[in-house]
Amino acid sequence: MKVIAVANQKGGVGKTTTSVNLSAALAAMEKRVLLVDLDPQGNATVSVGLQKGDLQATAFELLVEQQPLAEVAMQLENLEMDCVPADGDLTAAEVALLSVEDREQRLKQALQAGKFLYDFVIIDCPPSLNMLTLNALVAADSVLITMQCEYFALEGLSALMETINTVSQTVNPPLKIEGILRTLYDPRNALTNEVSEQLHQHFEGLVYRTVIPRNVRLAEAPSHGVPGIVYDRLSRGSTAYMALAGEFMRRQEQNKERS
């Protein structure tokens, strides 16, 4: 089982869209996938067709009340994957976790139960570096960073890199960068190309070749309760996410060969 946190402390950079569509694409490739929604906004939960008002248990119960993973993970039969959902209750988890022991280890402990059930666990992190994100970084084997190629993006990226370094030096030594994904990509924009070039220089080998374009169909999909790759699988956004899943799997194979 490989655990991947999809992170960036900036909102609106395609974290949830990436978590949902990469999960669905891997499931379509017959991988056993668990999507974990750690964002109190619950956007990933809605994007896979779950209603926030109908949830019996969420990531709150998993982290704070330590309910078993099997009781919280919901089967999404139409997508052939599972999801640990989230809703506004998760905001309270922030406060509740502050007073418990091993608070940053809670998600890692909970996911142990899925070790033989899943090939990949994809965690959609909240857009801030808080206790929930820390739980994701401690539980994860690697971090997939989504970013828009714009002026302030590189600043945010260096702050996130510092956090990842701190976590890997203290509580989770094996943690590494899975890759950097350029989202909302517009090749006609000079700044996009400039930032893209800088990324390749600073993070050689980590930047995915696949880029995710701005795409109306991807943006419409959550309101229909399905991932973009299901809503309109021939749209530019969907084909980009299928290509990302292919590139992602090739990297997994290469890493296996190296180790």
Answer whether residue 241 is part of any domain. Answer: no
Is the pLDDT at 227 greater than 80, yes or no? yes
Query: What pLDDT, on the 0 to 100 scale, is given for residue 204?
Result: 87
Answer whether residue 12 is part of any domain. Answer: yes
Mean pLDDT, residues 81-101: 92
Answer whether residue 141 is part of any domain. Answer: yes
Is the pLDDT at 9 greater than 90, yes or no? no
Mean pLDDT, residues 148-170: 89
Is the pLDDT at 257 greater than 90, yes or no? no
**DSSP string of the chain, one letter each residue:** -EEEEEE-SSSSSSHHHHHHHHHHHHHHTT--EEEEE--TT-HHHHHTT--GGG-S--HHHHHTS---HHHH-EEETTTTEEEE---TTHHHHHHHHHTSTTGGGHHHHHHGGGTTT-SEEEEE--SS-SHHHHHHHHH-SEEEEEEE-STTHHHHHHHHHHHHHHHHHHT-TT-EEEEEEEEEE-TT-HHHHHHHHHHHHHTTTTEEEEEEE--HHHHHGGGGTS-HHHH-TTSHHHHHHHHHHHHHHHHHHHHHHH-
Answer whether residue 259 is part of any domain. Answer: no
Summarised one tens digit per residue, pLDDT across range 27-51 is: 999 999 999 999 999 999 999 999 9
Residue-number span of the structural domain to which 186 is assigned:
2-149+168-228
Over the chain, what is the mean pLDDT? 94
Answer whether residue 240 is part of any domain. Answer: no
Query: What pLDDT, on the 0 to 100 scale, is given for residue 156?
Result: 81
Higher confidence at residue 15 or residue 153?
Answer: 15
Summarised one tens digit per residue, pLDDT across range 210-225 is: 999 999 999 999 999 9
Answer whether residue 140 is part of any domain. Answer: yes
Q: How many domains does the chain have?
A: 1
- Distance from C-alpha of 147 to C-alpha of 13, rounded to nearest angstrom: 6
Query: What pLDDT, on the 0 to 100 scale, is given for residue 118?
Result: 97
Residue with tokens 């517009």: 186
Answer whether residue 162 is part of any domain. Answer: no
On the 0-12 / 13-18 / 19+ scale of CB atoms within 10 A, 62 is: buried
The CATH number of residue 113's host domain is: 3.40.50.300
Is the pLDDT at 145 greater than 90, yes or no? yes
Query: What pLDDT, on the 0 to 100 scale, is given for residue 86?
Result: 97
Summarised one tens digit per residue, pLDDT across range 13-22 is: 899 999 999 9
Answer whether residue 155 is part of any domain. Answer: no
Q: Side chain identity at 122, as an amino acid letter? A: I
Range in 45-49, 109-113, 142-146, 255-259 the model is least confident about? 255-259
Query: What pLDDT, on the 0 to 100 scale, is given for residue 155?
Result: 81
Is the pLDDT at 259 greater than 80, yes or no? no
The pLDDT confidence band at residue 230, using thresholds 50, 70 and 90, is very high
Query: What pLDDT, on the 0 to 100 scale, is given for residue 18?
Result: 97
- Distance from C-alpha of 77 to C-alpha of 55, rounded to nearest angstrom: 16
